[in-house]
């Protein structure tokens, strides 16, 4: 079993920054295309470990579960958020098993497990455009 520890603060912060940049970029896409893109993204996340994740047929089963989340996510951001949380658990399992997402980066699965819940939280909030939120004047 190969595991790596997170020794520098940037290894904890960088996945959050990556998630925020992803959200900012996806926020540029207008609805309903944004929801469709997010559904495609969670389907793709389900296939991330297929070519060597180390869990055998369970990798295919997990991919199937996230494909169902993606299909249902075409109508519900909450289901897309659930898919991202499921992927977080899958990332943690791969990190603990010692089979990272990127074989050349031992902490890649753990980094993904930090990134994914940020995206999930945004989906649970209805995936609003962050650009729109920044432009809208706040009233009290």
User: Structural domain boundaries of the chain?
Assistant: 10-20+29-135
- Report pLDDT for 98: 83
**At which residue do the structure tokens 């993606």 appear?**
70
- Which residues are CB-neighbours of 59 under 8 A, at least 6 positions away? 49, 50, 53
Q: What is the pLDDT along the chain (140 residues), one digit of tens a residue?
A: 554 555 677 888 999 999 999 999 999 999 999 999 999 999 999 999 888 778 989 999 999 999 999 999 999 999 999 999 999 999 999 999 988 888 888 889 999 999 999 999 999 999 999 887 777 666 65
- Report pLDDT for 6: 56
pTM: 0.88
- Report pLDDT for 41: 97
Q: What is the mean pLDDT of the chain?
A: 90
* Alpha-carbon gap, residue 9 to 14, rounded angstroms: 9
């Amino acid at each position: 079993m190969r595991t790596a520890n997170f020794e520098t603060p940037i290894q904890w912060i960088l996945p959050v920054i990556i998630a925020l940049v992803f959200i900012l970029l996806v926020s540029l896409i207008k609805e309903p295309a944004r929801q469709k893109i997010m559904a495609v993204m969670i389907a793709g996340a389900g296939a991330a470990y297929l070519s060597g994740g180390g869990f055998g047929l369970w990798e295919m089963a997990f991919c199937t579960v996230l494909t169902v989340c993606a299909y249902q996510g075409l109508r519900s951001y909450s289901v897309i958020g659930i898919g991202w949380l499921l992927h977080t658990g899958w990332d943690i399992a791969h990190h603990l098993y010692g089979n990272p997402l990127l074989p050349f980066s031992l902490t890649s699965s753990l980094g993904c497990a930090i990134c994914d819940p940020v995206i999930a939280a945004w989906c649970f909030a209805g995936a609003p455009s962050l650009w729109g939120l920044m432009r809208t004047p706040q009233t009290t």
